[in-house]
Structure 1
Amino acid sequence: MDFRMSVKLLLAEILQNELTARGVDTLAPSDYEQIAERLVEQVRDIELSLSARSVTGKPEFE
């Protein structure tokens, strides 16, 4: 198992625990994994965008 996969699985478990603690128990384990995958993708996109802005000298937020 690579690092990204373990992070996604850890995020999925945390998400499931947090939502269950708040009374949400209608999602399947695969739903949590898909949500975690999207979170990782979105964070990666933000990191790439911020990195590109730092290289070009543009402000982080406009």
Structure 2
Amino acid sequence: MINESIKIAKQRHKTYVWLGVWEGNPKAIKFYQRHGFVVFSQHQFKLGNDIQTDIMMKLELM
């Protein structure tokens, strides 16, 4: 799925793709880092009564 998303973005002449991953999921963060994504920000949101933080990651498409 990740490869197909990158392929479509390139076909549409996008300069990068980005995603958000929950900070409490280090395996997912490492997975995306292995695929070239880097952290560029974070985003907090409310899930029920709990404040969650997503790590925002992007992959530059050259």
Normalising by structure 1, we get a TM-score of 0.26
Report the structure, 1 or 2, having the larger strand content. 2
Q: Which has the higher contact order (CA 8 A, sep 6+)?
A: 2
- Considering only CA atoms, is the larger Rg found in Structure 1 or Structure 2? 1
